[in-house]
Chains A and B, each alone.
Chain A
Amino acid sequence: MCGIVGLFLKDKTLEPHLGEMLTEMLVTMTDRGPDSAGIAIYGNEVNTQKKLTVQSDNGTEDFVTLAADLSAAIGVDVSLNRKDTHAVLHIPSNSIDTARSALRELRPELRVMSAGDTIEIYKEVGLPSDVAARFDVRKMSGTHGIGHTRMATESAVTTMGAHPFSTGPDQCLVHNGSLSNHNSLRRELRREGIHIETENDTEVGAAYLTWKMQQGSTLGEALDSSLEDLDGFFTFVVGTKDGFGVVRDPIACKPAVMAETDQYVAFGSEYRALVNLPGIDQARVWEPEPATVYFWNH
């Protein structure tokens, strides 16, 4: 099954409450997939700095001197904000590539969850309420965010198999469904030089959109072409630095409900996920059409 929630804020006064609203929505979807959960939050941008979210099963050892070690290796100031098994590194923008290569040398076992100006991704095996509590998601603010709770089908229940998947700067994707041509598409994308970490079908979907956008497509155009090139069942919700998109395959058997008011655009696998949002009784609520791309930009 899997459960998806997404919230794209139009009203800035709601931004401090994004984490709290998204957590409530995600926890409501627990029974659609209780094996792992994750959340992507687009937070505040710090000028001239990039965020790199990394994960380690042994954070106590790996993170304690990481900022100092990385600073020493690349010769610029790096700060680190640890949250349980994840840590967000703040790195000067012009040093991001050297920092990532240095990181591979210094801590080869670290997994990179996301990189970009505003995105942070937190995901782990476990129930949504536990995962949200571990990372203190309720306290996070931001402009938009996407959450996912997983019932695994195409690959193992692991941290790296959890959603959201990020395959490009400030990009992320969550998926309800299963792709059937992911093996051949993964081979093609790897030949094109796209880095794909896992054997998971959804990561191939994310990598496909990254590849399309690298070639100059907008998010909307990339989603449009996914309808031609991806085979299988999917309801996708995707995020970029300033955008939020939704697309369903032409069969559209994976559920989706959307709501829009002057304050936000919200997505839920079920209406239950939306019932606590402010003004939901007056919101425009609809089921996204099959094979139709929806997206919003800030």
Chain B
Amino acid sequence: MQTFDLEQNDLRTLNATLHAQKTNTNQTAWNIINPRGSHAIAVGLDAPIEVTVNGSTGYYCAGMNQQATVNVKGSVGPGVAENMMSGTVIIDGDASQYAGATGHGGLLVIKGNASSRCGISMKGIDIVVHGNIGHMSAFMAQSGTLVVCGDAGEALGDSLYEAQLFVRGSVKSLGADCIEKEMRPEHLAHLTELLTQAGSDAKPEEFTRYGSARQLYNFDVDNAGAY
């Protein structure tokens, strides 16, 4: 286990050190201490390493992650795991706005609550939130899965494309073109798998599935010429 103290060394050195780890590195476990709300911790990683952040972070923690597993033992500021490609990011506390925004792949687990715009424009990432999410979540979400074990705020899934949304609690309101959908066996299987991966004991059958009604202008082939 390598320990990196952000009070003794600066952020650039931390990220450069983590970037220097190759796919076959034998320094696979990293422990970051004294994050003190700093921004851009463990951003742009591309190796199968395990990074533990002991405390809360600021903006953009674990952004653009590939392969790595990042576990924050606290809460995170805006834009956690933004544009993640693969790997796993686990937040023990809460996440601020636009968690997992534009993510292409990998798994983001938030054990507390996420605030507004969670999964906005997601493009393949899977996000599991143990608590609640705020307004405008999954806005223009293109693909991937957003699982919410608590409640969702206003305008869930507005202008949604092909992402799948599962919410166990209440939804304050659905966004434009987002509708409740039938839960078929393949959805239950997928949800069960994600809940297991995310360490949640929520029962899959208690969830409701939401998705795109595909009624907006951009879904009508007669409008294809406009693009």
Closest to A273 in B: B37
From A98-106, A211-219, A285-293, the one touching the partner chain is A285-293
Nearest chain B CB to A261 CB, angstrom units: 16
CB-based contact B97/A270 at 8 Å: no
CB-based contact B97/A252 at 8 Å: yes
Assess A255 versus B36: contact at CB under 8 Å? Given A270-B58, A286-B94: no
Assess A270 versus B135: contact at CB under 8 Å? Given A252-B116, A253-B97, A285-B75: no
List chain A residues, Cβ under 8 A from B37.
270-275
List chain A residues, Cβ under 8 A from B135.
250, 252, 290
Assess A287 versus B56: contact at CB under 8 Å? Given A270-B37, A272-B38, A275-B37: no
CB-based contact A255/B77 at 8 Å: yes
Give the complex CA separation of A255 and B138 in angstroms: 19
Give the complex CA separation of A257 and B75 in angstroms: 11
Instruction: Let me know if B134 is at the binding interface, CB within 8 A.
Output: yes
List chain B residues, Cβ under 8 A from A273.
37
Instruction: Let me know if B88 is at the binding interface, CB within 8 A.
Output: no
List chain B residues, Cβ under 8 A from A285.
56, 75
Tell me what chain B mostly uses at the interface: helix, strand, loop, or mixed: loop
Instruction: Let me know if B78 is at the binding interface, CB within 8 A.
Output: yes
List chain B residues, Cβ under 8 A from A253.
97, 116
CB-based contact B96/A255 at 8 Å: yes
List chain B residues, Cβ under 8 A from A275.
36-37
B16-57 at interface with A (beta carbon < 8 Å): 36-38, 56-57
List chain A residues, Cβ under 8 A from B96.
255, 257, 287
Give the complex CA separation of A255 and B37 in angstroms: 13
Give the complex CA separation of A103 and B115 in angstroms: 49
A239-273 at interface with B (beta carbon < 8 Å): 250-253, 255, 257, 270-273
Nearest chain B CB to A248 CB, angstrom units: 10
List chain A residues, Cβ under 8 A from B116.
251-253, 290
Nearest chain B CB to A39 CB, angstrom units: 21
Assess A287 versus B58: contact at CB under 8 Å? Given A255-B77, A270-B37, A272-B37: no
Give the complex CA separation of A251 and B154 in angstroms: 11
List chain B residues, Cβ under 8 A from A255.
77-78, 96-97
B38-92 at interface with A (beta carbon < 8 Å): 38, 56-59, 75, 77-78
Give the complex CA separation of A271 and B116 in angstroms: 17
Give the complex CA separation of A252 and B153 in angstroms: 13
CB-based contact B77/A270 at 8 Å: yes
Give the complex CA separation of A228 and B185 in angstroms: 46
Give the complex CA separation of A289 and B78 in angstroms: 14
Give the complex CA separation of A257 and B38 in angstroms: 14
List chain A residues, Cβ under 8 A from B77.
255, 257, 270-271
CB-based contact B115/A272 at 8 Å: no
A253, A257, A286, A287 — most chain B CB neighbours (10 Å): A287
A136-184 at interface with B (beta carbon < 8 Å): none
List chain B residues, Cβ under 8 A from A272.
36-38, 58
CB-based contact A287/B36 at 8 Å: no
Nearest chain B CB to A290 CB, angstrom units: 7
Give the complex CA separation of A251 and B59 in angstroms: 18
List chain A residues, Cβ under 8 A from B36.
272, 275
Nearest chain A CB to B136 CB, angstrom units: 8
CB-based contact B38/A287 at 8 Å: no
Known: A255-B97, A272-B37, A275-B37. 17 other contacts (CB 8 A): A252-B134, A253-B97, A257-B77, A257-B96, A270-B58, A270-B77, A271-B37, A271-B56, A271-B77, A272-B36, A272-B38, A272-B58, A274-B37, A287-B96, A289-B134, A290-B116, A290-B134
9 contacts between A and B (CB under 8 A): A251-B116, A255-B97, A270-B58, A271-B58, A273-B37, A274-B37, A285-B75, A287-B96, A290-B116
Closest 7 CB pairs of A and B: A272-B37, A271-B37, A275-B36, A287-B115, A271-B56, A275-B37, A270-B58
